Structure 1
Amino acid sequence: MAISLTLNGEARVIDADPQTPLLWILRDTLGLTGTKFGCGVAQCGACTIHLDGTPVRSCQTFLGDAEGANITTIEGVESPAATAIRAAWTELDVPQCGYCQSGQIMAATALLTETPKPTDDDIDAAMDGNVCRCATYARIRSAIHLAAEKLEG
């Protein structure tokens, strides 16, 4: 079945089973491997993408649910918040192994887009469920605060 959507700013028609998780469409069909497979049950956040600006787990969001939607992946996220997040991530050496980082960045970007000056509680709530096996949570929180400061200018 043909599903129409916008992916990273480009209109696309995907001909696949509407019950296919977006994660597999992104990675296997379209070759966008920045979105990672972690747990497959929406508990780790490695597969986080933006669906109409909202962070969602692509492993449990189906192609059919994305009909007419605007999807942004780590490869296509472009905004002042995304730029500030990436700069802060680099400046504070946030990643250790790096596997979870695309999901972390997508969640953090959505947070700063909605809440430009987040508190620790805001950060904890927004990042809840984004698991980092290397436990870089303190650096992630610091980087989000730094990115918020960079956005203030």
Structure 2
Amino acid sequence: MDTNVEIVAALLSAEPISVDAAIAAVESSTAGAVVTFSGVVRNHDGGASVERLAYSAHPLAKKVLAEVAASLANLVKDPDGHPVRVWVAHRVGPLEIGEPALVAAVASSHRAEAFELCSELVERIKAQVPIWKEQFFSDGTVEWVGAGELPEPQQ
């Protein structure tokens, strides 16, 4: 693998995830910028009141998450030649309003590369990693929302 990007972690977690832990994991003496993303559970969707969520992951989701992170290796290059460091985690299981569901942190010598990579990482995770969100609404209805597609069967 190219050393342009160092994947510090690509995790699925049933336990709470933390922006502070993500920052601590990617910080280094060469990092002039650390960009984070925290996707938190909100109390509404499409005009309806949401009480809580639950995330379910396909058995291959952890592998796909790692592959998505690794696929960014040649997307950006640190102008000073240092590896761009990446930490990402997605929750599975039940979550309450305000809890982080997806946390990503990217450290680079300069901000432009860190912003670009963090944004692209989040977009690819949402599009490719097979994780499904079950939303529980205040009116008692439940909705499943797909995030990602099923991986192709292994031969």
TM-score surpassing 0.5?
no
Larger CA Rg, structure 1 vs 2 = 2
Structure having the higher helix fraction is 1
Structure having the higher strand fraction is 2
Q: TM-score, normalised by structure 1?
A: 0.31
Q: Higher RCO, 1 or 2 (CA under 8 Å, sep at least 6)? A: 2
Q: TM-score, normalised by structure 2?
A: 0.31
